[in-house]
Amino acid sequence: MKDKYLVIGGCGFIGSNMVDRLLSKNNEVIVLDNLSRSGSEKNLEWLKEKYPNKLEFIRADIVKDIGLLADAVRRSNTILHLAAQVAVTTSVESPRHDFEVNALGTFNVLEVVRKFNPDAKLIYSSTNKVYGGMENVEVVEKKDEYQYKLYKNGISEDQPLDFHSPYGCSKGCGDQYVRDYARIYGLNTVVFRQSCIYGPRQFGVEDQGWVAWFVIAILTGKKITIYGDGKQVRDVLYIEDLMDAYQSAFKRMNEVKGQVFNIGGGPQNTISVWYQFKPILEKLFGNIIDTESGKWRPGDQKIFVSNIQKPNAYLDGRPNILQKKASLSFTNG
């Protein structure tokens, strides 16, 4: 049977890139999105202009519009669930909204799949924030970054969960429901606990999408706030690598169903969010960047680096699937 894709949250950064890739290969795609995210309407218009006769768009909310969601699920067999409230700070300010979108919304997606299309394949976009602040993991403070004392290959999927912040709780709830629906109901589900993804069509804002946000802030003359000390380290992954991993997981669903994967650039593609990123930006834009300091945010990890040995071993049988294009494209320029 030919795959027919449903991309839930298909007008966001990751979703619009994935829809573009799928439509460019003449796949059938349904896009379901409520257009609440900054930049989502721009991404939708871009997709409509590029694929005027191919794109099927449904404006719907996964919390409220269950009938529309069910209709889309019935007519698809390969589902990528990206819809989410994505910011820690927003979750602290509006925890009920955060819970409804991330926990209840994901539950609604699973129930619709279970009732109406249980043979469909589903990937859930989770987050490294399900591991919390990882205060029990020893780190070493260096001049311009934090390093793990012991975890030279990064954090594996065996790291204990610790849902620190309402966002961590709501995404962790969805994460575990998706995993458990494979065990209890036999659904074809996979969880991707994603690190920092970057690339085109990313309309970053201050509390989400920091790589894009720093660039946008500089271009628009907005002051950048550095929360914490700026030495926090993240592994970064280019969007094309992430999409390769999605398609590999769909292709190998019989082998990977019920699995959880940490998805990121890994130890070879890390950067501290300001001490190491700032000189790159100043070289790129040719000026000193004005910043101000802010307090550490709830659940903010001093360092998170994904151990990507498991996805590199499982996904498509290819070594280093997550390291082909992962590093920031202008870091060595």
Task: Kindly list the catalytic residues.
Answer: 167
In angstroms, the CA 252 to CA 318 distance is 12
Residues 6+ apart with CB under 8 A from 172: 126, 129, 130, 161, 163
Q: Which residue, among 239, 333, 288, has the nearest Cα to 18 in the 3D structure?
A: 239
Tokens 């070594």 correspond to what residue? 319
Residues listed for the chain: 333
Tokens 């997981």 correspond to what residue? 249
Tokens (6 digits) for 266: 């890994």
In angstroms, the CA 288 to CA 272 distance is 18
Q: Which residue, among 66, 14, 77, has the nearest Cα to 40 in the 3D structure?
A: 14
Cα angle 159, 161, 163 (rounded to 5 degrees) comes to 145
Q: What element of type H or E holds 20?
A: helix 13-24
In angstroms, the CA 320 to CA 267 distance is 12
In angstroms, the CA 243 to CA 263 distance is 11
Tokens 């996904």 correspond to what residue? 315
Q: Is 269 helix (H, G, I), strand (E, B) or coil?
A: coil
